[in-house]
Amino acid sequence: MGLTSVPDALKILYILYRVKSPVDIKDIHRIVDIASSRGICCKQYSFARYPWGPYSKDLEADLEILRSLGLVSITNGNTSRRLVITEKGVTVAINVERVISPNEKERLESLFTGHVDQDRMSG
C-alpha cells in the first residue's frame, strides 16, 4: 500500500506522532514544507513564505480536520499555538505506520533526526 495511499491529514498526524508532540504550529508548517520539497510527502500543499516561516492554508485546514475528529488538540501557549496528539490520534497514527514501507519510514525519519532536533535546540 504505502504512504501515497494515505490521506494528507493522516500523513500529518503520523508526522506529529513521530515528532513527539506537543509541537508549535509554525514548526509543523516548516517540517511539512521540507517533506514536500524533498518529495517525501504532502506535495499538494502550497506554501507562502513569510518572515516567520512557511505557511499553508491547506495544511491549516487539515490540522482543523484532525482537531475536529479529536485526533489532535490545539493549545495556546504564551506566544504560540501548539499541537498535541490525543490518545485517539496515537492509535490512528500507529495504524497509519503499519501501511508505510520501510523506505518511506526511513525517508520520514530523516526529517525528525535532522531538521526537527536542530530547530528545537535553536528555538
9-61 pLDDT, tens digit per residue, is 888 999 899 888 788 999 999 999 998 888 888 878 999 999 989 999 999 99
Q: Which of 51-55, 72-76, 115-119 has the lowest mean pLDDT?
A: 115-119
Contact 3, 97 (CB under 8 A): no
Q: Could you tell me the pTM of the whole model?
A: 0.81
Q: What CATH class does 3-122 carry?
A: mainly alpha
Strands across the sheet containing 23-24: 23-24, 81-85, 72-76
Helical residues (DSSP H) of the chain, grouped into ranges:
8-19, 25-37, 57-68, 87-98, 102-111, 117-122
Interatomic CA distance for residues 58 and 47, integer angstroms: 9
